[in-house]
Chain A
Amino acid sequence: EAQVTQNPRYLITVTGKKLTVTCSQNMNHEYMSWYRQDPGLGLRQIYYSMNVEVTDKGDVPEGYKVSRKEKRNFPLILESPSPNQTSLYFCASSFDSNQPQHFGDGTRLSIL
Protein backbone atom coordinates (compact mmCIF):
# COMPACT_ATOMS: atom_id res chain seq x y z
CA GLU A 1 0.00 0.00 0.00
CA ALA A 2 1.34 3.42 -0.99
CA GLN A 3 1.84 5.46 2.13
CA VAL A 4 3.74 8.07 4.07
CA THR A 5 4.56 6.90 7.58
CA GLN A 6 5.39 9.24 10.44
CA ASN A 7 6.66 8.31 13.89
CA PRO A 8 5.84 8.95 16.59
CA ARG A 9 2.17 9.88 16.21
CA TYR A 10 2.11 11.60 19.59
CA LEU A 11 4.90 12.96 21.79
CA ILE A 12 4.94 15.02 24.94
CA THR A 13 8.38 16.27 25.90
CA VAL A 14 10.16 19.12 27.65
CA THR A 15 11.90 22.25 26.46
CA GLY A 16 15.42 21.69 25.21
CA LYS A 17 15.30 17.92 24.82
CA LYS A 18 16.30 17.06 21.27
CA LEU A 19 13.80 15.05 19.30
CA THR A 20 13.43 13.57 15.84
CA VAL A 21 10.24 12.83 13.95
CA THR A 22 10.78 10.26 11.25
CA CYS A 23 9.07 10.18 7.87
CA SER A 24 9.25 7.40 5.35
CA GLN A 25 7.54 6.94 1.98
CA ASN A 26 7.34 3.83 -0.18
CA MET A 27 6.36 5.46 -3.49
CA ASN A 28 9.85 6.32 -4.76
CA HIS A 29 8.94 10.01 -4.62
CA GLU A 30 11.68 12.55 -5.16
CA TYR A 31 9.95 15.46 -3.41
CA MET A 32 9.30 15.44 0.32
CA SER A 33 8.15 18.16 2.66
CA TRP A 34 7.33 18.96 6.27
CA TYR A 35 4.43 21.14 7.40
CA ARG A 36 3.09 22.32 10.71
CA GLN A 37 -0.60 22.92 11.25
CA ASP A 38 -1.88 25.37 13.83
CA PRO A 39 -5.48 26.52 14.46
CA GLY A 40 -6.33 29.53 12.35
CA LEU A 41 -3.03 29.40 10.45
CA GLY A 42 -3.57 26.40 8.22
CA LEU A 43 -0.62 24.36 6.97
CA ARG A 44 2.74 26.09 6.77
CA GLN A 45 5.75 24.58 5.09
CA ILE A 46 8.83 24.09 7.27
CA TYR A 47 11.36 22.46 4.93
CA TYR A 48 11.28 20.60 1.67
CA SER A 49 13.57 18.35 -0.30
CA MET A 50 13.70 18.07 -4.06
CA ASN A 51 15.87 14.95 -3.99
CA VAL A 52 18.53 13.14 -1.99
CA GLU A 53 20.93 15.60 -0.34
CA VAL A 54 18.93 18.58 -1.65
CA THR A 55 16.87 20.48 0.93
CA ASP A 56 15.63 24.04 1.31
CA LYS A 57 13.75 26.22 3.74
CA GLY A 58 10.03 26.70 3.60
CA ASP A 59 8.06 29.49 5.23
CA VAL A 60 8.75 28.64 8.89
CA PRO A 61 12.15 26.89 9.16
CA GLU A 62 13.40 28.46 12.40
CA GLY A 63 14.14 25.91 15.10
CA TYR A 64 14.06 22.92 12.75
CA LYS A 65 16.55 20.85 10.80
CA VAL A 66 16.09 18.17 8.18
CA SER A 67 18.20 15.69 6.31
CA ARG A 68 17.70 13.62 3.17
CA LYS A 69 20.33 10.93 3.04
CA GLU A 70 18.06 8.40 1.38
CA LYS A 71 15.20 8.88 -1.04
CA ARG A 72 12.58 7.29 1.17
CA ASN A 73 13.37 9.05 4.48
CA PHE A 74 13.08 12.68 5.50
CA PRO A 75 13.43 13.14 9.28
CA LEU A 76 12.53 16.39 11.03
CA ILE A 77 14.88 17.34 13.85
CA LEU A 78 14.18 19.74 16.70
CA GLU A 79 17.57 20.34 18.31
CA SER A 80 16.24 22.36 21.23
CA PRO A 81 12.43 22.28 21.23
CA SER A 82 10.50 25.19 22.67
CA PRO A 83 6.82 25.51 23.62
CA ASN A 84 6.05 27.51 20.46
CA GLN A 85 6.84 24.38 18.48
CA THR A 86 3.87 22.63 20.01
CA SER A 87 1.86 21.76 16.93
CA LEU A 88 0.55 19.11 14.58
CA TYR A 89 3.18 18.10 12.04
CA PHE A 90 2.69 16.51 8.65
CA CYS A 91 5.13 14.93 6.26
CA ALA A 92 4.25 14.70 2.59
CA SER A 93 5.76 13.37 -0.61
CA SER A 94 5.19 13.53 -4.36
CA PHE A 95 7.02 12.84 -7.60
CA ASP A 96 7.78 16.53 -7.89
CA SER A 97 6.50 19.83 -6.47
CA ASN A 98 3.92 20.16 -9.26
CA GLN A 99 2.18 16.89 -8.49
CA PRO A 100 -0.32 16.11 -5.71
CA GLN A 101 1.35 15.36 -2.41
CA HIS A 102 0.58 12.32 -0.29
CA PHE A 103 0.39 13.13 3.40
CA GLY A 104 1.13 11.11 6.48
CA ASP A 105 -1.38 10.96 9.33
CA GLY A 106 0.42 13.54 11.40
CA THR A 107 2.49 13.81 14.57
CA ARG A 108 1.13 15.72 17.53
CA LEU A 109 4.02 17.32 19.46
CA SER A 110 3.55 18.96 22.84
CA ILE A 111 6.58 20.80 24.22
CA LEU A 112 6.22 21.68 27.90
Chain B
Amino acid sequence: GESVGLHLPTLSVQEGDNSIINCAYSNSASDYFIWYKQESGKGPQFIIDIRSNMDKRQGQRVTVLLNKTVKHLSLQIAATQPGDSAVYFCAETGAGSYQLTFGKGTKLSVIP
Protein backbone atom coordinates (compact mmCIF):
# COMPACT_ATOMS: atom_id res chain seq x y z
CA GLY B 1 0.00 0.00 0.00
CA GLU B 2 0.94 3.66 -0.17
CA SER B 3 3.35 4.77 2.51
CA VAL B 4 1.98 7.94 4.02
CA GLY B 5 2.76 7.25 7.65
CA LEU B 6 6.49 7.94 7.73
CA HIS B 7 7.68 10.02 10.67
CA LEU B 8 4.18 10.40 12.07
CA PRO B 9 3.33 10.46 15.77
CA THR B 10 2.22 6.97 16.65
CA LEU B 11 -0.31 5.79 19.19
CA SER B 12 -0.35 2.11 20.10
CA VAL B 13 -3.33 0.76 22.02
CA GLN B 14 -4.51 -2.64 23.11
CA GLU B 15 -7.57 -4.00 21.40
CA GLY B 16 -10.64 -3.13 23.46
CA ASP B 17 -9.07 -0.06 25.10
CA ASN B 18 -10.16 3.48 24.34
CA SER B 19 -8.01 5.66 22.07
CA ILE B 20 -7.58 9.41 22.21
CA ILE B 21 -6.00 11.24 19.30
CA ASN B 22 -5.21 14.92 19.71
CA CYS B 23 -4.93 17.81 17.32
CA ALA B 24 -3.95 21.42 17.86
CA TYR B 25 -5.02 24.11 15.43
CA SER B 26 -3.73 27.64 15.10
CA ASN B 27 -6.45 29.60 13.32
CA SER B 28 -8.86 31.11 15.85
CA ALA B 29 -11.24 31.92 12.98
CA SER B 30 -11.71 28.23 12.14
CA ASP B 31 -15.28 27.18 12.77
CA TYR B 32 -15.63 23.77 11.14
CA PHE B 33 -13.53 20.77 12.10
CA ILE B 34 -13.38 17.29 10.65
CA TRP B 35 -11.67 14.01 11.47
CA TYR B 36 -10.60 11.69 8.68
CA LYS B 37 -9.27 8.15 8.74
CA GLN B 38 -6.82 6.97 6.11
CA GLU B 39 -6.06 3.31 5.62
CA SER B 40 -3.07 2.13 3.64
CA GLY B 41 -3.61 2.52 -0.09
CA LYS B 42 -6.83 4.49 0.25
CA GLY B 43 -8.01 8.06 0.35
CA PRO B 44 -9.06 9.77 3.59
CA GLN B 45 -12.48 8.72 4.83
CA PHE B 46 -14.78 11.02 6.81
CA ILE B 47 -15.34 9.97 10.42
CA ILE B 48 -17.02 12.82 12.27
CA ASP B 49 -17.24 16.60 12.21
CA ILE B 50 -18.04 19.39 14.64
CA ARG B 51 -18.85 23.08 14.29
CA SER B 52 -17.58 25.77 16.59
CA ASN B 53 -20.95 26.29 18.28
CA MET B 54 -20.52 22.85 19.88
CA ASP B 55 -17.88 21.41 22.19
CA LYS B 56 -18.77 17.73 21.89
CA ARG B 57 -20.30 15.47 19.28
CA GLN B 58 -20.79 11.74 19.38
CA GLY B 59 -21.03 9.17 16.66
CA GLN B 60 -20.89 5.43 16.63
CA ARG B 61 -17.93 4.55 18.94
CA VAL B 62 -16.35 7.95 18.24
CA THR B 63 -16.55 11.26 20.06
CA VAL B 64 -15.02 14.56 19.03
CA LEU B 65 -14.24 17.21 21.62
CA LEU B 66 -13.50 20.82 20.75
CA ASN B 67 -11.81 23.26 23.11
CA LYS B 68 -11.80 26.63 21.40
CA THR B 69 -10.06 28.34 24.31
CA VAL B 70 -6.85 26.41 23.75
CA LYS B 71 -7.53 25.59 20.09
CA HIS B 72 -7.54 21.86 20.66
CA LEU B 73 -9.49 19.05 19.08
CA SER B 74 -9.57 15.41 20.10
CA LEU B 75 -10.98 12.19 18.71
CA GLN B 76 -11.95 9.46 21.12
CA ILE B 77 -12.49 5.93 19.85
CA ALA B 78 -14.22 3.56 22.25
CA ALA B 79 -13.35 -0.13 22.40
CA THR B 80 -10.66 0.17 19.75
CA GLN B 81 -10.62 -2.64 17.20
CA PRO B 82 -7.92 -3.88 14.80
CA GLY B 83 -9.89 -2.32 11.95
CA ASP B 84 -9.32 1.08 13.53
CA SER B 85 -5.61 0.87 12.70
CA ALA B 86 -4.96 3.75 10.32
CA VAL B 87 -3.64 7.28 10.08
CA TYR B 88 -6.03 9.89 11.50
CA PHE B 89 -6.09 13.50 10.33
CA CYS B 90 -7.88 16.52 11.72
CA ALA B 91 -8.86 19.27 9.31
CA GLU B 92 -10.23 22.77 9.77
CA THR B 93 -11.78 25.56 7.79
CA GLY B 94 -13.12 28.99 8.64
CA ALA B 95 -16.30 30.86 7.91
CA GLY B 96 -16.20 32.19 4.38
CA SER B 97 -13.06 30.21 3.59
CA TYR B 98 -12.98 27.68 0.80
CA GLN B 99 -9.72 26.15 1.96
CA LEU B 100 -9.37 23.10 4.15
CA THR B 101 -6.19 22.80 6.25
CA PHE B 102 -5.10 19.36 7.41
CA GLY B 103 -3.00 18.40 10.40
CA LYS B 104 0.05 16.19 9.94
CA GLY B 105 -1.74 13.04 11.12
CA THR B 106 -1.39 10.41 13.85
CA LYS B 107 -0.85 6.75 13.18
CA LEU B 108 -2.98 4.47 15.35
CA SER B 109 -1.80 0.89 15.79
CA VAL B 110 -4.08 -1.56 17.55
CA ILE B 111 -2.42 -4.47 19.29
CA PRO B 112 -4.58 -7.62 19.15
Contact = CB atoms under 8 A, between A and B. Distances in A.
Interface stretch (B10-18, B66-74, B75-83, B94-102): B94-102
Given A39-B3, A42-B104, A101 B98 contact: no
Contacts, number: 68
Interface of A: 4, 31, 33, 35, 37, 39-45, 48, 50, 56, 58-59, 88, 90, 92, 97-98, 100-106, 108
Given A41-B104, A42-B102, A97-B98, A105 B32 contact: no
Measured as residues with beta carbon below 8 angstroms from the partner, the interface class of chain B is 20 to 34
B103 to A, nearest CB: 6
Contacts of A103: 36, 43-45
B61 interface: no
A100 to B, nearest CB: 4
B4 A37 contact: yes
A98 B32 contact: yes
B89 A43 contact: yes
Question: DSSP class of A's interface residues: helix, strand, loop or mixed?
Answer: strand
B64 interface: no
Most buried by B among A4, A33, A37, A102: A37
Given A44-B102, A88-B4, A101 B46 contact: yes
Nearest to B5: A39
A97 B102 contact: no
A56 B102 CA distance: 18
A7 to B, nearest CB: 14
Nearest to B90: A42
B7 A40 contact: yes
Contacts of B32: 98
A90 B104 contact: no
Most buried by A among B5, B32, B43, B46: B43
A88 B98 CA distance: 22
Contacts of A31: 98
A108 B104 contact: no
Given A42-B102, A45-B101, A50-B98, 10 more contacts: A39-B7, A41-B104, A43-B91, A45-B100, A48-B98, A88-B2, A90-B43, A101-B34, A103-B43, A106-B2
